[in-house]
Amino acid sequence: MKKNLLLFAFFVSFLNCNLYSQIKEMIPYQPSKTEILERYKKALLLDKAVKNTVFKTSIRAQWQSDGKSFWYSNVLKDSIIEYILVDAGKGTKNILFDEPKLRNALSSVTLIKTPQKSLVIDSLNYDAKTSSIALKYDKNYYQVKLSDYSIQKINSLSKDKTKYPSLNRQWQRWNSFQTDSISPNKKWLAFIKEYNVFIKPIAGGNEIQFTKDGTKEKPYGSLAWSPDSKYAVGYHITPFTDLPVHYVLTSVANTTRGELHSQPYKQPGDPFTTYEMYLFHIENQKTTKVNAPIIDFFDAPELHWRKDNPNYFTFEKVERGHQRFRIFEVNTQTAETRSVIDEKTNTFIYESRLFTHYGKESNEIVMSSEKDGWRHLYLIDAITGKEKKQITKGEWVVRSVDSIDEKKREIWFSASGMNSNEDPYYIHHYRIGFDGKKLINLTPSKGNHLVSFSKNKQYYVDSYSEPNVATIIELHRTSDGKKIMDLEKSDATAYLATGMSLPEPFHAKGRDGVTDIWGIICRPADFDPNKKYPVIESIYAGPQDSFVPKNFMDRYTTEMQSLAQLGFIVVQIDGMGTANRSKAFHDVCWKNLKDAGFEDRILWIKALAKKYPYVDDSRVGLYGTSAGGQNALGGLLFHPEFYKAGVAACGCHDNRVDKQWWNEQWMGYPVGEHYKEQSNVTNASKLTGDLLLVIGEADENVPPESTYRVADALIKAGKTFEFLPLPGVGHSDGGPYGRQIKRDFFVKHLLGVDPPSRNTNELNQ
């Protein structure tokens, strides 16, 4: 009996200990005023302590004319700069010059003693044959032999005039395209006079007037020559002048009056200038209207002439509403057109990510499409419009095209999501044939990669890292991707010695229960795992990209890490509706910007709290700027059961008020009732949480009235909120002052303690 009683007492004691432990773990972190003051002071000290503790996170290779050597500089502790010379052919690297000797050489010729701090050189040529350097110093140029450091003044640095393989840039295709006013054969000059088209012989002679109906209200313009100089292409233009938006600067020096500023600003639904295409025939002096749709979205397009038959050219047209992309071919003999490519979608075509490359030696087009559900590259017959080959394929995304080699029929591109064992957003670089074969991964190591090719593309520098893995920088050979040598590696030892931790990547299932949602976590340096800390989400759900930092010591994590030191778990997440995943993942945003991936974000934070009991998912706030400002308020309005406090800076709170090009891309055209229904202004009366609105009065990106309309609606609904207008500030989170007020806001509303009073200098008492 006694034994049983002892066992029972032990069992009760065991239960009580575990119950106490569980209760202890569940204690919400709610610091006292004294403790929070200490946290502010420690956070400030940490911000200072971590500066200049991590080095060698990137290099900028300065390739030399020999095609195999380059130099770069490293900024080290105490602002010491070292200059490194690399010979890619030999696989060696050395200090570029003896700095004391170079100092003495420069002092001897300038008769001025050089500063004791490291020399700062940004322009330098290295000559391996003569073992000398030419450099710019103090606005003058010098040649220095490295064998004896003899020096002489020179007039300038020589320029490398070698023609290198060009890189393909995904240019802004919708800027108005024009050729030189002089014809390619240098015989004709095309110009606009009194709103009409004139062409005259350069050698002398009378000008030829091709049009007579051009007026100020409807002029001709945007002329472009055919490569054989037989035609000029131009447009009868109906201009539309964008209406202005305004803002008032309230604190202008030397005046007692506010200063009104205005700028043209196209909003969703506003008309565009239109272009009707015409051909101007030099031989018979004939003007012909092309039987083509009026271009009523963006400007005059670039023309692509067939090399084998200059009587034909193609141009691209995106329909307003972003649901149809076409490539038209024009027959200059008949002025008739036909559709070569006609791609349609029920949601949207992301026009800024469209890539097209027109073969110079063949009638082929390499173009991107998401028609199979992922962004991939296709080889198209430019005459028939038929698909010759899907070049890339799989459940991954082509991110960009670096270059195309038509002779070798190779494409150099970057992609993400191909490696199943890592974050699907990590970028890798590849080479592939036009036939979709011989795929080579130039950057196989795990991590997010940034590649920089030599001018002749024989070598490349590969920098890769993860948010919690230091940067490694390597030199590779392009032909087979083989690593030649290690260049640099970052070291976070000094950073971690301050007590700070690196952000932790974390993923959890999204709303469909299948798709992984990725984000990062930042913790206080001294967090206690037995207490539960409020969560603050840094949010930006703009559909134009993905936003969670993927690199080591990314500058965007600095504010998150600093904010966490006040006693928060700070996170950032890419939910559905953002880019760089599947088409279905992205399509969530279509006519649905208020969604902002919140279902995925909430599930992610709940999964985080399940894994880490010190994460308090009952106290969650969020903050953001621009589209993130819209999202921050949207979280409070549409998910009040989860988000309790938010700071919304310069938000595009009503998509009818914001810029046309961004909002119509995602919300569609024409402007329908869904714009109004999803507006933060329309839904302002739903506010139940704590809100801080921040607006810069000089915002030229998102009109300030977007935020003021929210404030007006909140006032009319009798809601309580905080409002921070910033005189003279543009599109911003408010800068240092705005970030200070944001921190105070979350301390008050999520930690339940008054922030320090700066009016009484409480932090220094």
Chain position carrying tokens 């709290």: 609
> Which pLDDT value is given to residue 111?
81
pLDDT grade, residue 23 (50/70/90)?
Answer: very low
CA–CA separation, 106 and 608 (whole Å): 59
Which stretch of DSSP H or E encloses residue 92? strand 92-95
Could you tell me how far CA 46 lies from the centroid of its own chain? Answer: 29
> Which pLDDT value is given to residue 279?
98
Query: Greater confidence, 500 or 170?
Result: 500
Check: CB of residue 526 under 8 Å from CB of residue 564.
no
CA–CA separation, 324 and 342 (whole Å): 7
Percent of all residues in the chain with a pLDDT value above 90, rounded to a whole number:
88
At 8 the three-state DSSP class reads helix
CA–CA separation, 746 and 567 (whole Å): 10
Residue 431, strand partner residues:
412, 440
Nearest to 414 by CA among 361, 384, 379, 375: 375
> Which pLDDT value is given to residue 574?
98
Q: How far is CA 646 from CA 444, 556, 567, 602, 615, in A?
A: 41, 19, 17, 15, 18
> Which pLDDT value is given to residue 112?
80
- Alpha helix stretches (DSSP H) within 477-534: 493-497
What tokens appear for 303 in the block? 């023309």
pLDDT grade, residue 168 (50/70/90)?
Answer: low
pLDDT of residue 434 exceeding 90, the answer is yes
At 649 the three-state DSSP class reads strand
What tokens appear for 50 in the block? 């971590």
CA–CA separation, 565 and 269 (whole Å): 45
- With the C-alpha atoms ordered 647, 650, 655, 661, is the resulting torsion angle positive or negative? negative
At 65 the three-state DSSP class reads coil
Q: What is the pLDDT of residues 555-606, one digit of tens each?
A: 899 999 999 999 999 999 999 999 999 999 999 999 999 999 999 999 999 9
SS3 content of the chain, % helix, strand, coil (to 5): 20, 35, 45
**Pairing assessment for the beta strands 504-509 and 469-477 based on DSSP bridges:** unpaired
CA–CA separation, 366 and 711 (whole Å): 49
* Bond prior to 670 in cis (omega within 30° of 0): yes
> Which pLDDT value is given to residue 515?
98
pLDDT grade, residue 20 (50/70/90)?
Answer: very low
User: What are the chain's domains?
Assistant: 24-51+499-757 (3.40.50.1820), 65-154 (no CATH)
How many CB atoms within 10 Å of residue 753?
A: 18
What mean pLDDT, rounded, does the chain reach?
Answer: 93
Check: CB of residue 694 under 8 Å from CB of residue 738.
yes
> Which pLDDT value is given to residue 177?
62
Q: How far is CA 761 from CA 478, 736, 765, in A?
A: 59, 17, 7
- With the C-alpha atoms ordered 694, 699, 703, 708, is the resulting torsion angle positive or negative? positive
Task: 707-710: list long-range contacts, CB under 8 Å, 24+ apart.
Answer: 707/629, 707/648, 707/650, 707/651, 707/653, 709/653, 709/654, 709/657, 709/681, 710/633, 710/651, 710/653, 710/680, 710/681, 710/684
What tokens appear for 586 in the block? 């992205």
Chain position carrying tokens 């953002």: 578
Helix 598-611 × helix 627-638 angle, to 10°? 70
Mean pLDDT of 654-682: 98
Four-point Cα dihedral 730, 735, 741, 742, nearest 10: 90
The model carries a pTM of: 0.93
> Which pLDDT value is given to residue 159?
87
What tokens appear for 723 in the block? 């409002």
Nearest to 516 by CA among 444, 593, 603, 587: 603
Q: Which residues lie closer than 8 Å to 16 by C-beta, 6 or more apart?
A: none
583 in the Ramachandran plot: left (φ > 0), alpha (ψ -120 to 50) or beta?
Answer: alpha
* Bond prior to 271 in cis (omega within 30° of 0): no
- With the C-alpha atoms ordered 722, 649, 656, 697, is the resulting torsion angle positive or negative? positive
Q: What is the pLDDT of residues 256-313, one digit of tens each?
A: 999 999 999 999 999 999 999 999 999 999 999 999 999 999 999 999 999 899 999 9
- Alpha helix stretches (DSSP H) within 668-753: 673-677, 705-716, 735-750
